Amino acid sequence: MAATTFYAQAAANRRKSALLLFVATLLFLSFGFVVGFAWLGDPVAAIGTTVVAGIAALVSGLVTYYGGAKMVLAASRAHPATAEAHPVLMNVVQEMAIAADLPMPSVYVIEDTALNAFATGRSPQHASIAVTTGLLNRLDREELQGVIGHELGHVRNLDIRFALLVGVLVGGIALLADVLLRSMMWGGGRRRSNNRDSGGGGLQALMMVLALVLAVLAPIAARLVQLSVSRQREYLADATAVEFTRNPAGLEGALWKIGTDREVLEVANRATQHLYIANPIKKFEERASSLFSTHPPLADRINRLRALHGGAPLSVEDMRPLAAME
């Protein structure tokens, strides 16, 4: 694997994320128009229904935007860290914040033996970082720097804000799908009959078939786009962490320990799993779902870090312990 730079990785991931956001936006607008036309039989009214659904999704997103961080920390049973109880953690966060040219975030600890961490908050000025006690006990200082650098990379790159925007689009698509299906049950047939009598039934019938197909496929496609964006942001945060630490080996070692850890993080769930540095839901758990993976393979992330200093990729034998957990 040829050596590259974290600047090149960051630039490439920004382009890919922008493309994915464009695809999600296009999917939302197209679906909104098709559903509106199929429901009302009027292209002008279809634009109106798309705008209304978008406003509803935006309101929901804003509620999450301003209150989501507190809800996530509470759900994770995180409590504030202190310099007296966690001097190394607080020192590492402070030095990484200086390296990133960011305000000092609020720091929290989750009492759990599993190895993991996440960042949350709506902006660098309202950011929080949470780490598990297992992570603090089993990582050395360089590895902890890599993890904190990764989480501050999410903060500096405004990943929470970016994820919110895509989340609003996904929610809007789900809302439109629900509206369409309910309209079919509660009066859609009468509207179609009226429009057919007025001579516009052929095109509307075609739109209805298309809308029904999209009602099933669009939410799944939107969810996949959302997960793709999440995976791209993990690559970008890895590259950003190296920019802060100038030491890819630290994060590489941390990801290896996290990826081969068999401890289960009980407080994690499907709603919060995408926030963590690595998927907290293990492959052997009943709640695991490989179809909707929120993170790129750890072996791939480690190989990208190795490429930054010209190192050889992981061997097949080395990748087996990681694959067993994902």
Q: What is the pLDDT of residues 174-194, one digit of tens each?
A: 666 666 666 656 655 444 445
Residues 6+ away with beta carbon under 8 Å from 153: 100, 159, 236, 237, 238, 239, 240, 241, 243, 244
Enclosing domain of residue 55 = 6-325
Least Cα distance to 147 among 118, 126, 124, 120 occurs for 118
Asked whether residue 269 is domain-assigned, the answer is yes
pLDDT, mean over the chain: 80
Q: Is residue 277 part of a domain?
A: yes
Choice among 84, 143, 151, 243 that is catalytic: 151
Residue 183 within a domain: yes
**What is residue 110's predicted lDDT score, i.e. its pLDDT?**
98
Whether pLDDT at 259 is above 90? yes
Q: Specify whether 151 is catalytic.
A: yes
- Mean pLDDT for the stretch of residues 204-215: 71
Domain tally, the chain? 1
Helix, strand or coil, per DSSP, at residue 25: helix
Q: Is 259 left (phi over 0), alpha (psi -120 to 50) or beta?
A: alpha
- Is residue 112 one of the residues assigned to a domain? yes
Q: Identify how many contiguous H helices and E strands the chain contains and give both numbers.
A: 11, 4
pLDDT in tens, 263-297: 999 898 776 788 899 989 887 666 665 556 678 89
Q: Are 263 and 138 in contact (CB under 8 A)?
A: no
Name the band, by pLDDT with cuts 50, 70 and 90, for residue 213.
Answer: confident
How much is the pLDDT for 163? Answer: 63
Instruction: Provide the token pair at 10.
Output: 């960051």
Residue type, 177: A
Does some domain include residue 1? no
- 174 to each of 4, 131, 179, how far by Cα in Å? 40, 33, 9
| pLDDT score, position 306 | 92
Predicted pLDDT of residue 242? 94
Model confidence pLDDT, tens digit, residues 9-36: 667 666 766 776 677 677 777 777 777 7
* Across 302-315, average pLDDT: 90
- pLDDT score for 59: 73
The answer to whether residue 145 scores a pLDDT higher than 80 is: yes
